[in-house]
Amino acid sequence: MARTPTPKKRIEQLRAQIREHNELYYGTDNPSISDAEYDQMVRELRDLEAEHPELADESSPSEAVGAATITTFDPVVHRVPMTSLDNAMDESELRAWGERVAKGLEGEAVQFVCELKIDGLAISIRYENGVMVQAATRGDGKVGEDVTANVATIKSLPATATKAPEVVEVRGEIYMSIAAFEKLKADREAENLERIKNGRATLAVPVNPRNAGAGSLRQKDPTITAQRDLSLWSYQLGEVVGGPAFTSHHETLEFLKSLGFPVNPEIRIVDSIDAVMQFCHSWQERRHELPYEIDGAVVKVDNLEQRERLGFTSRAPRWAIAFKFPPEEKHTILKDIQISVGRTGRVTPFAVLDTVFVGGSNVTMATLHNRDQVAAKDVRPGDTVVVRKAGDVIPEVVGPVLAKRPKKSEPWEFPTTCPCPVKSTLVKLDDQADTRCIEPSCPFQRDQRIIYFASRGGMDIEGLGERTVFALSDAGLVADVGDLYSLTVEQLLTLEGFADKGAQNLVAGIQASRTKPLPKLLTALGIKHLGPAASESLSAHFGTLDAIVAATEEELSSVDGVGGVIAASIAKWFAQPENIAIIEKLRAAGVDFGRVEISTEPQTLVGKAVVVTGTLANYSREEAEQAIKRRGGKSPGSVSAKTFAVVLGESPGASKVTKAEQLKIPVLDEAGFEILLATGELPN
């Protein structure tokens, strides 16, 4: 029987898992678990961190907003941070939030603005003198991705806003309508039918409008985005220069409408939490009447002065909350249970279902997570099962309807061999829930590893997507990522669909990737749990890939932001001879194993966390954070008991100022910041 992990071990596990799921959801728009499961993970982590404050970590994903950008779109620093919202999962939690608001305002009358929670991608669009100059995704709330060219293709967005002030940032949600999604899905399915006829591997079919919309927005070619028919609802203002003064949120919405920006017509102003609940319950029942997907409602305090008094927590405003609709459930027949194999060898069982309409779309497959979940739920082919589409993302089988189970039903047994041509034995370790194919030559894993290596979050090789990888694999031209660098134009021209220019471009793109920075290469290797943030930390600490390979597990785990779980995974990966063989192929191909620039600044801030808020005269926000890091310090996005000092510029974040006052953290102006950088000491 597996032992219950210690709080420290469980916290490490949860942090690693949440980081991985953040990257899947925010970075690649390809979540592997439902919103409900993710929310449960985050809640468990926050509860454990609250119970064990000695294990607190400012880099914990429990404090994060979204995820760091992992694509090669240019970074954009948000002048006004794009915060996330806390969630209310049921009526009692929503009412508890209402009570906190009333207490914070000492019983004053409150009006609430109720909005639909659009299932899309948060965006900030900047206009200067009436002309759109920049559009950026939320990213981690502080830094997003520059997607200006793609956002410019959205038909419902005005190219110019003639009545706009000198500067106006429009915050909103970009989404794909149900009709646009169904067309995209039908086109991909038709393409897959042709591939099957020709004996070729199929391509991924978009799962839902949210992922399809986010993926469409992140296309490098804006003409592809334009073909996807994306839409926008605006719901908030960011930075405004030269605009009118506002006293309420609904005034800002009217202002947005007057400038020509689309504002959702279903927004309502109400006077009580009872009326808020009525709005939420009404749209929970009517959600499928809409031509777009929603997954809840957003409730905000209308009065802006009241908002200022309520302030923020470390990650979200106290004056707003997202009410998440409960998962929808339907019954259907489970026709079969099959398994899929991912790039790390993880084997995931899934249910093949009689088509059922749930969560706003037809569902024919649903996740069963892992071997233990199948056994625990005892679901079997032929069962009538409860299917839930939690959070409108990943459908799952909740369990069987035992009263309808066929009399001769037999328990389903997990396969003992991988479904790939190698037919390797599947392995499940006693202390892990996952079953894995550990055969390095498994072609299913091989293809997924190559796809991941070439993705935007990895080496970002233009033109090397799923379709091309499958073609290279089928032709026997590529067995691992090291083989990519020996590909020739002549070899590519033997593949169906390749013309001379396309072949030359792909070879050039592969060769160009040899100079990618070390953090990109580390991430691209696809080591379990190792994402961009930890790769950056490792690169800064060790300087070269060879130094990382040679490091002990203890040395790896001592690096800030890595920890035991990630370190163990890295050490295990580099201990496998077949992986070292790939490293040597990359070395022989001239891939730069990197040397991260070492700061020549005096290390005055080692071990000190300095938070910067507001606008400084001589530093951009990014420059100030880099100045701190170059001197050995940390620059987290929130104030905590571990913060050494807070630097205040113009228009600082109210929540950070309040938190610094509560914790009695020293507060510096820009002159004091200069002294701190030079000496590591607080000014007298």
Q: What would the pLDDT profile of 141-154 be if each residue is shown by its tens digit?
A: 888 899 999 999 99
Region of poorest pLDDT, from 197-206, 540-549, 620-629: 197-206
Region of poorest pLDDT, from 19-23, 267-271, 314-318: 19-23
- Which of these three, 324, 342, 375, is where a domain ends? 324
DSSP 62: G
Tell whether 396 and 289 lie within a shared domain.
Answer: no
Give, in order, the Cα–Cα distances in Å from 476 to each of 196, 423, 452, 479.
19, 18, 19, 7
Q: Is residue 427 one of the residues assigned to a domain?
A: no
Between CA 485 and CA 487 the distance in angstroms is 6
Is-contact 237 256, C-beta < 8 A? yes
Is-contact 173 322, C-beta < 8 A? no
pLDDT reading at 37 higher than 70: no
Q: Is residue 97 one of the residues assigned to a domain?
A: yes
Stated as kind and residue range, the H or E segment containing 95 is helix 91-104
Give the domain extent around 14. Answer: 7-63
Tell whether 143 and 44 lie within a shared domain.
Answer: no
Tell whether 99 and 162 lie within a shared domain.
Answer: yes
Tell whether 412 and 269 lie within a shared domain.
Answer: no
Between CA 358 and CA 592 the distance in angstroms is 49
**Of the candidates 516, 517, 527, 514, the residue with the CA atom closest to the CA atom of residue 574:** 527
Q: Is residue 68 one of the residues assigned to a domain?
A: no
Tell whether 344 and 403 lie within a shared domain.
Answer: yes
| All residues at 6 or more sequence positions from 397 whose CB lies less than 8 Å from its CB, including other chains | 334, 351, 366, 367, 368, 377, 379, 385, 386, 387, 388
Q: For the chain, how many structural domains are there in total?
A: 5
CB atoms within 10 A of CB 215: 20
Q: Region 7-36: what's the mean pLDDT?
A: 73
pLDDT reading at 461 higher than 90: yes
Q: Is residue 122 one of the residues assigned to a domain?
A: yes
Between CA 562 and CA 530 the distance in angstroms is 8
Q: Tell me the catalytic residues.
A: 117
- Which of these three, 273, 304, 324, is where a domain ends? 324
**Whole-structure pTM value:** 0.52
Tell whether 316 and 172 lie within a shared domain.
Answer: yes
Q: Is residue 438 one of the residues assigned to a domain?
A: no
CB atoms within 10 A of CB 109: 10
Give 159 or 432, the one with higher predicted confidence: 159
Tell whether 313 and 337 lie within a shared domain.
Answer: no
Q: Which residue has the tokens 């942090």?
A: 15
Q: How confident is the model at residue 601 (pLDDT cuts 50, 70, 90)?
A: confident
515-548 pLDDT tens trace: 998 989 999 999 988 987 788 889 888 989 999 9
Q: Which residues pair with 322 in a beta bridge?
A: 87, 298
Q: How confident is the model at residue 595 (pLDDT cuts 50, 70, 90)?
A: low
Q: Region 200-213: what's the mean pLDDT?
A: 73
Tell whether 290 and 145 lie within a shared domain.
Answer: yes
- Provide the pairing of β-strand 394-400 with 384-390: antiparallel
Q: Is the dihedral of CA 189, 193, 195, 200 positive or negative?
A: positive
CA atoms within 13 A on the CB side of 137: 31
Cα 212–Cα 218–Cα 224 angle in degrees, nearest 5: 75
